[in-house]
Amino acid sequence: MNAFEIGPMVLSGERLAILLGLITFIVGAGVLAARVSDRFNPWSTAVALGGLAVARLAHVIGHWEYFSGDLLRIFAIWQGGFDWPWAVIAVIAASVLMLKERRLITWGAAPVVAGVMVWNVAYQLSSQTDPTPPPDFVLASLDGGVVALDQLDGRPTVVNLWATWCPPCRREMPALAAAQARRPDVRFLFVNQGEGPDTINAYLRANDLALEHVLLDESMAVPRHYGTVGIPVTLFLNADGRLARAHTGEIAPEQIDAEIRKLTP
């Protein structure tokens, strides 16, 4: 599964790759600052922060319909959502304005290229998803029935692993509920981890959430089947039930829609 535990933290493969690439860039720039010119210290800060800001802004502009109704989400960078190729604007601007000399600009390309290469290799290695088939067991439903997880109905499936005590689970739940209402061609399963019906019902009523197919996984068998780490986790299954993509951590509305589009013709 494309998620990693680092002490108490759980990082998705995508975020770990970004972190490794950034560390490589900063270390490389630090070496240049010590051996070539101290201009590389402020330059590396400007490139890192400027690249982050430009990539986020490009993502927001490209997905404006998802942000226009909630402008504070622009700052919710923990959800992900960056168009990284646009970060080259920050690299060029910082290099021209702060390094100035052609010799220093040429040196500056080295940590940038190294960081991009480390990011790309780490991302390719960590983003692979095994096409795991659905588990062959049943879970109790909040409405009193049972659901066989390997019983398919011809639709792709979105499986959300969540709990009421989990802050990122609570933050993403309205977006998932809206996606369920908007996409009847997709089956949604909200698999609660380790909690009882009373706790779940109280949470749904308090937050005015109308969810279909809320399942009780009190023994947390589903994450063991898929090998996931932590919650929330959102699994995207093809119509044949096999895993297509696993998203670890809070998921943004535009990411939900993008992953669903990959599952549907």
Number of H helices, E strands in the chain: 9, 9
Position 166: which residue type?
Answer: C
Burial 160-196 (b: 16+ CB within 10 A, else e): bbbbbebebbbbbbebbbebbeebeebbbbbbbbebe
> pTM score, two decimals?
0.86
User: Cα separation of 202 and 165, whole Å?
Assistant: 12
Of the candidates 239, 260, 246, the residue with the CA atom closest to the CA atom of residue 153: 239
Q: Are 122 and 99 in contact (CB under 8 A)?
A: no
Please give the sequence-ordered ranges of beta strands (E in DSSP) within 142-250, or none if there are none: 146-148, 157-162, 187-193, 214-217, 233-237, 243-248
pLDDT class for 35, splitting at 50, 70, 90?
Answer: very high
Of the candidates 223, 243, 233, 229, the residue with the CA atom closest to the CA atom of residue 3: 229
For 51-102, how does the pLDDT look when each residue is reduced to its tens digit (9 = 90+)?
Answer: 999 999 999 999 999 999 899 999 998 888 999 999 999 999 999 999 999 9
| Per-domain residue ranges of the chain | 3-126, 138-263
Across the chain, which distance is largest between two alpha carbons, in Å? 71
User: Cα separation of 106 and 90, whole Å?
Assistant: 16
Half-sphere exposure of 232 (CA within 13 A, CB side): 27
Q: Are 108 and 40 in contact (CB under 8 A)?
A: yes
Structure tokens at 60: 């927001």
Q: Are 243 and 237 in contact (CB under 8 A)?
A: yes
Domain 138-263: CATH class, spelled out: alpha beta
Running DSSP on this structure, what letter comes out for residue 63? T
- Whether residue 8 is predicted with pLDDT greater than 60 in this model: the reply is no
Beta bridge partners of 185: none
CB pairs under 8 A, 24+ apart, for 25-28? 25/111, 25/112, 25/114, 25/115, 26/111, 27/111, 28/110, 28/111, 28/114, 28/115
Q: Higher pLDDT residue, 89 or 4? A: 89
Structure tokens at 217: 């996984």
Sign (positive or negative) of CA dihedral 171, 173, 179, 182: negative
Mean pLDDT calculated for residue range 119-123: 90
What are the angstrom distances between the C-alpha of 253 and each of 46, 81, 84? 30, 10, 19
For 142-163, how does the pLDDT look when each residue is reduced to its tens digit (9 = 90+)?
Answer: 988 899 998 888 999 999 999 9
Mean pLDDT calculated for residue range 171-190: 95
User: Cα separation of 226 and 16, whole Å?
Assistant: 20
